[in-house]
Amino acid sequence: MNAPYTPASGLLAGLNRRWARFAARQPLRLPSERAIVTITFDDFPKSAACAGARALERHGWTGTFYASAGYAGDVTHHGAMFDCGDLQRLAATGHEIACHTYSHLDASQVGTAAFLADIARNERALKAMGLERELDSFAFPYGEATPAAKRALSERFSNLRGVHADINRGGADRNLLKSVPIDGGEAGIARAIEAATSLSRHPGWLIYYAHDVQDDPTQWGCTPEQLDRVCDAIVDSGAEVLTMRDAVRQMERTA
């Protein structure tokens, strides 16, 4: 079983993260009067491919699943991970398969060339597993980005997502989009629900990210019932639910 990885901490790590948020930005204009929600799953565990996808599909929604192909068929701290069947089924039913590096690399701990090579390896592996559509969206593992990685990946992907917990409003950096976790026990779920509730008062693009969806989740996961409650809050908000790829394309058309 793969043990959880802990990104660097301390003053220097914090300063580097802050610098990455403000450097190498690519502005994305967001609609001011419409609320959009995107639900994403990172890594992704089989429970997300099954219970997570079912929760969305009950509402007629599709989500974005960030795949690290190095985990495929393996077991990690999140439980059993996705396999070829999960990948092909999700793609066939309209969900977006997106990129999360092959080895789930921390961009701040490797050179940009090595980071790009791992992404290329991920793309090859996912195609070998039967993915036919090109990868449009990318999420930085652990939310760890660097200005150099942001610049390089902006030439390959239409959007890059981080884990800075907030709603994208007004203008956003498409090279490091903000997102809100669906985890953290009942307190975390309450914050996720409040984020959706706030959209009726203050529209924006709310991107959620989750990991495992199981009855006994990890600290980075949620239960199926908790995910259903977040989905109910999204319904009540009146927001339109789109994948990362479709949300960006719609914003580009209306800009």
**Alpha carbons 87 and 65: distance in angstroms, whole number:** 9
Name residue 97's beta-bridge partners.
65
**Can you give the pLDDT at residue 233?**
98
Kindly list the domain boundaries of the chain, sorted by start residue.
Answer: 33-254
Q: Is the pLDDT of residue 56 over 90?
A: yes
> 20-29, 43-52, 76-85, 214-223: which range is least confident on average?
20-29
Q: Is the pLDDT of residue 144 over 50?
A: yes
Q: Which residue has the tokens 């090859």?
A: 124
CB contact set of 233 (below 8 Å; sequence gap of 6+): 192, 193, 196, 197
Mean pLDDT of the residues in the chain: 95
**Can you give the pLDDT at residue 7?**
82
Mean pLDDT over 194-208 rounds to: 97
Q: Is the pLDDT of residue 78 over 70?
A: yes
**Can you give the pLDDT at residue 18?**
85
Architecture of domain 33-254: Alpha-Beta Barrel (3.20)
Residue 126 · residue 106 · CB < 8 Å: no
Residue 167 · residue 203 · CB < 8 Å: no
**Can you give the pLDDT at residue 35?**
97
Structure tokens at 28: 């994305």
pLDDT bracket for residue 2 (50, 70, 90)? low
pLDDT bracket for residue 255 (50, 70, 90)? low
SS3 76: strand
How large a percentage of the chain has pLDDT more than 70? 99
Q: Is the pLDDT of residue 196 over 60?
A: yes
Residue range 85-131, pLDDT digits in tens = 999 999 999 999 999 999 999 999 999 999 999 999 999 999 999 99
